[in-house]
Amino acid sequence: MIATLIICLWWILATSVYALDLDTAYSLALSNSFKVKLAKMAIDKVDIEKNKLWMSFLPEVNYKLSDGEEKYVIDGVDTSDSNNKDNTAHSLEMRLSLFNGGKDYLQYKIDSANYSLATCELELTQLQIKLQVLELYIQVYKLQQQHKLQQQIVVKHGQKVAQLKQQLDVSMTTKRQFLQAQSTEYLAQRQLQTLALQISDYSLQLQQILQTPVAELEIPQQTSVSNYSEFNLHPSVLQALYELKVSNANIHKQLTQFMPQLNLLANWQQQQRLIYLDDTGGQRVENTLLSLELTVPVFTGATNITALRLSYANYEMASVRYKMRQDEIKHQMQTIKHKLATSSKQLTLATKFTTSAQEILESETLDYQYGVINYLPVIEATIALLQSQQEQLLAQAEELLYRNQLFLHLDSLQLTD
């Protein structure tokens, strides 16, 4: 009863998963990635910072209200009860920045570069996730196909052992040949178990990224790759470029600390002072002021100078990182292209071996049908063909991996930037 329930549960789980193609795997991984979600939030945050800067071009308006009472001591006598002074004041002040050395404009350039930087970070995160999914996807697909071929190899080894056992019974072969064939069968069975464990391991890793069960994987479609080599548009390189732009803008922003600032200041103030002393009345005063305020920095200590030196140091470091990133991407693309060319040659060679093994099997099958040989050479030729197909599968999987890696890198180039 329990065994029946286990089988039913296994059947339900097995039929609940579905075959995946590579594009669907990409979409699932990106939609479920917390790194992608955080990168998109970072873009929204920088966009808010960039738009907030426009508020600096608006005037600053402040309203002040004060109300108090002053007490006097006359000739050493506290006149708090008979002598006091009410002081009420209203003021409205507006300040508008006319010139601040270009600080606001430079800050806008910094925020714009940071926005592009955050966009590159998102593109780079998506690329890294796709590359991770691609590697696991190809690995699982390769192991699944290997497992199918290995199952057939195990069956053929079993048939070979059975044939040799019959020949051994009639003294048509040696016991040594029989034991060797039996040992080879055991090795094939162990390889089959190893493949099953590897499929389970890599499928679990892929499932954790996709957050969905993984069953049969479809073969990735052949993607065409161009010979485009302008890798300066790669998101990794552009990320370093925008870091360099931010560092350069920060230098100019620090230089504005040494420049004069000009503000338009408008102030209206009404002050009412009521003095109760010897039947004296109060007075009301109104002031209106419109002025230009010029601030010229003369000496601010070493703070601004130190900040400027740090900005120059950051710029030099960003410049080195930009050049380093260019070389890294260039070498990375060259390496992938070289591996793709090598794997394509290996696939062509493996295909020829498979074709040759197929022709040998057909020849052995004809000889067996005409009674020239027994069935044992046919079994051996079939095993050789299956092993050749495994080698062809490995070469095909490697070629697919490098081809899709190159396609993803080229697809990430921001050609319209």
The whole-angstrom separation of Cα 50 and Cα 42 is: 12
**Model confidence over 350-385: pLDDT tens digits?**
999 999 999 999 999 999 999 888 899 999 999 999
pLDDT at site 413? 80
Partners of 288 in the β-ladder: 268
> What's the Cα-to-Cα distance from 186 to each of 177, 277, 301, rounded to whole Å?
14, 118, 82
The CATH class of the 60-99+261-296 domain is mainly beta
Q: Which residues contact 19 (CB under 8 A, 6 or more apart)?
A: 215, 216, 217, 218
User: Contact, 22 vs 134, CB < 8 A?
Assistant: yes
User: Contact, 205 vs 139, CB < 8 A?
Assistant: no
DSSP assignment of 390-403: HHHHHHHHHHHHHH
Q: Which of 225, 244, 247 is nearest to 120 (CA)?
A: 244
The whole-angstrom separation of Cα 274 and Cα 252 is: 53
Site of tokens 């990182």: 321
pLDDT at site 416? 43
- The separation between CA 211 and the C-alpha centre of its own chain, rounded to angstroms, equals 17
User: Contact, 223 vs 404, CB < 8 A?
Assistant: yes
User: Contact, 181 vs 163, CB < 8 A?
Assistant: no
The C-alpha torsion from 37 through 38 and 44 to 45, rounded to 10°, is 160
Q: Which of 238, 234, 239, 229 is nearest to 409 (CA)?
A: 234
pLDDT at site 212? 84
The whole-angstrom separation of Cα 84 and Cα 293 is: 37
pLDDT at site 411? 86
> What's the Cα-to-Cα distance from 37 to each of 40, 44, 124, 213, rounded to whole Å?
5, 11, 13, 22
DSSP assignment of 122-177: HHHHHHHHHHHHHHHHHHHHHHHHHHHHHHHHHHHHHHHHHHHHHHHHTTSS-HHH
User: Contact, 217 vs 144, CB < 8 A?
Assistant: yes
Q: Which of 145, 122, 112, 126 is nearest to 28 (CA)?
A: 126
Start and end residues for every CATH 1.20.1600.10 domain found in the chain: 21-58+100-259+297-411
The whole-angstrom separation of Cα 122 and Cα 101 is: 34
The whole-angstrom separation of Cα 234 and Cα 123 is: 9
Give burial (CB, 10 Å; 0-12/13-18/19+) of 110: buried
Q: Which of 330, 325, 385 is nearest to 356 (CA)?
A: 385
Site of tokens 């479809």: 218
Q: Would you write out the chain's pLDDT as a tens digit for each of its 417 residues?
A: 444 444 344 433 443 445 688 899 999 999 999 999 999 999 999 888 877 777 767 777 887 877 655 555 555 555 555 444 556 777 778 777 777 777 778 888 888 889 999 999 999 999 999 999 999 999 999 999 999 999 999 999 999 999 999 888 888 888 899 899 999 999 999 999 999 999 999 999 999 999 888 878 888 776 666 666 667 888 989 889 999 999 988 888 888 877 777 777 777 777 665 555 454 555 566 667 666 777 777 666 667 788 888 999 999 999 999 999 999 998 998 999 999 999 999 999 999 999 999 999 999 999 999 988 889 999 999 999 999 999 999 999 999 999 999 989 888 885 543
Partners of 135 in the β-ladder: none
Start and end residues for every CATH 2.20.200 domain found in the chain: 60-99+261-296
Q: Which of 125, 128, 115 is nearest to 417 (CA)?
A: 115
DSSP assignment of 57-80: GSPEEEEEEEEEEEE-EETTEE-T
Site of tokens 């230009």: 292
User: Contact, 178 vs 161, CB < 8 A?
Assistant: yes
DSSP helix/strand/coil, 198: helix
User: Contact, 160 vs 374, CB < 8 A?
Assistant: no
Q: Which CATH superfamily is domain 21-58+100-259+297-411 in?
A: Outer membrane efflux proteins (OEP) (1.20.1600.10)
Q: Which of 268, 344, 235 is nearest to 93 (CA)?
A: 268
